[in-house]
Chain A
Amino acid sequence: MTIDRRTVTQLAADLRARKVSSVELVRACLPRIEASQSSLNAFVTVTAEQALAQAQAADRELAAGRGGPLAGVPIGHKDLFCTAGVRTTCGSRMLENFVAPYDATVVARLQAAGAVMLGKLNMDEFAMGSSNETSYFGPVRNPWNTDLVPGGSSGGCAAAVAARLVPAATATDTGGSIRQPAAFCGVTGIKPTYGRVSRYGMIAFASSLDQGGVIAQTAEDCACVLRSMAGFDPRDSTSVDIPVPDYLAGLDAPLAGVRIGLLKEFFDTGLEADYERHVREALAVFERLGARLCELSLPNIPRSVPAYYVVAPAECSSNLARYDGVRFGHRCRNPRDLTDLYKRSRSEGFGAEVKRRIMTGTYVLSAGYYDAYYLKAQRVRRLIAADFERAFAEVDLLMGPTTPTTAFALGAKSADPITMYLNDIYTISANLAGLPAMSVPCGFVGGLPVGLQIIGPHFAEQRLLQAAHRFQLETDWHARVPERCA
């Protein structure tokens, strides 16, 4: 079976033109997914029957000249978006058999737009990880080199898109979980502004940082999918009631005069030299497109990672308290008493990294430490947000590397949590400040993809997508496919 390289945009057009049917696409995708599982392990659940039924329905709509903007387009969902009747595991033993009785808003919206769900994508357990090694269902492997990690936590999403198992996938980003795997796998990912995409039905890791987004082959595809999933949701109090612009409409607008800031702090000693070279070459492309570059310093950015590793675990420790073996999720056998039920259910259900973060969060919120850690981190967070605000008074976009290095080997960083945490050193600050950010493929080092990160002010998704799209019109990094998948 030859690989389908068509983008979401092309597929949607071909489906509408009846050049291909949704059932044909799904029938083509399913065996490829099956075949990839042993090497990539990108899926936790494949929903073959449901996908075919949805595809048939989409084909009927299309035949009748109806159907939403994504009618018949197959996609995958990160396995933390609740899907009615299909298990949602969050990559955890805790939810190994959990079947949500409802659809996440994102799932419902994409379904309403006509998208066909092929299955649920593997991820770090409860989205806690940067390598996809914490999944209870086993690590996902990087399609560019299966000895390497795909990044995390949306590793299954990035790997699936990179291997062209699906044209696009929903994903989430709490500290870089869309951008870092997108960079490692050579695909395009967008984390929108906090509040842009509903969190209803998206199983929480850290509520003030989590944001749903898209991983796809191109910025245009990101725009296409995001347009259908974004928007106000009355069921999410943190969802913002601002109309969603047509992200596709402004994509071709020229970049002349756009001011781009280079974050000095992102070009630090931790950045690999070859990685940096590619990022600077990408910046030169923008310059050629008429953008103006300048260097900026945001002095509080280096404190992002420690601030994040207070705030995120604090919220996670509370968010994950509901997994107690009573109403859903794993329950230990023969609990002696209530405390035993809680402790063993949770200890058996959660993996080591999740436990570590729950304990970190419990510690920073506990009596005597709250001010020193939690409140302090939230103050630092404001400093970081203020840094960005000052920067966006001077520039339209900030750019830099997505990660300090290309993908690393499985097991290389699992011994020491801090080494792993520092992988997100360039991505975390956007989450703390709630800013939209993307990762766009911008080169290869040793056969491994390099990611360019683009950060914008709140609700500037259109500007980000436009910049990324213009860049992708000039380059073909995003169009490259791992040899083993080709």
Chain B
Amino acid sequence: MNNLVILPVIIPIIAGLLMVIFRKNIGFHRWAGILALFSLLLVSLLLIFQIDSSGIQTLQAGGWKAPYGISFAADMFAALLLLCTSVVALLCFLYAFRTIGREREEHYFYPLFLFLIAGVNGSFLTGDLFHLFVCFEVMLIASYVLISLGGTRVQLRESLKYILVNVVSSSLFLVAVAYLYALTGTLNLAHLSVVVAEIGQDGLMTTVALLFLLVFSIKAALFLFFWLPESYSAPPAVVAAVFAALLTKVGIYTIFRMFTLIFYHEPQITHQLIGVLGAVTMVLGACGAAAFSDMKKILTYNVIVGAGFVIAGLASFTVDGMTGSVFYLVHDILVKALIFLLGGAIIRLTGTSKLNEMSGLIRNHPYLGWLFFTAALALAGIPPLSGFLGKIFITKGAFQSEYYWLGAVGLASSLMVLYSLMKVFMNVFWGETTMSKGMEKGSIKGLMFPISGLTVLSVLLGIGAEVILPYIRLAAETLLAPSLYIEAVLGLGD
């Protein structure tokens, strides 16, 4: 029992509720938000050290013994994602000060932002399938409002589609939960793992597993990403950055959790399918990123490629592949947020997202240009930046389990990612300077701090990989040994 485990969910909710009470006081919103997100950062660091020294931390809500109550469990994988979430959330929060505008601030932007973070953290920490659904809904309802907040015509249209897709997939989620409950009679993840291992993963159980895969694929933009490019282009840059960095990652996290803890008995069906989905996602995402000449579209398609890449490591189901996936997931959260914030800054300067309408920004904004260049290289996986190691391990894992095609597709899609981002870089920053300082649509003053912060973190993650790798490896090994999770949640006596 460790009460620290619940704090990442409670802190943002309490801060958000206080903000709703003092709705007129924007200064209070900002400070309370910074304070809440900073304490999240500290809590997740503390959790990482505790998990490192004494194993998986758990909490049984209300003292109800698992599997009867709702369990929370923080293993290294969840804690690392918590840390990334709080870092990205804090920096995006700072970015929002300058960009989001008075109107949105007064209409509960900051509380909604914190509720979204609470939902994300809850999904990482919960050890109960139905509670996972509830956390998903907390996150989604906040995202419904964030995506439509501001009420421009495009936002309204896209939010309608976004809500429809998510409501339908949430219904399917519940259907899958109902089937699984009928088959096993429990909803606690650790207990599910025990029961499924006992009664065996037969055809019916595998079908339910595939239904879960379908639901989470919609959320994670894995193959079923048809809704993503349009939806993520509509809201303001900072909202798109948080969505791209965190929302799809929650879907990926749950796929990892379900298919390493519960449905790991039939890898030749489920994990092979996951590998195929990952490969198709990478190919289609890379095609989209290479084809469009609109910066928002290119960036959103890169989100899709990233999802496919992380999943490829899961498909390989080896320690190396998993290590790569966890490392790449951490890297992807930071760099996706970074590249969307950079895109937002560029659009703010030029007032357009069409590549052929901008050129030569490097003369007036050299710093912005080189940061974009660094971020693009990190995303494509050029050493010594952070994407490189993740890609190495994922490819190694894919080769080890003889998915040669999967490794090849991953490497080819990295090239396409590099091409698409260099296309943006060359169009936006090179060429004749057509815009003088006076013609700029908006100022990027004050935006450089969060952007530089994320860049530094990405570079450090690449260079300082030696320091971080033991934690990542621990996360991967824990994922591949479900008995650790089960023992921690259910207790050794059971």
Asked whether A and B interact, the reply is no
Q: Chain B interface (Cβ within 8 Å of chain A)? A: none
Q: Chain A interface (Cβ within 8 Å of chain B)? A: none
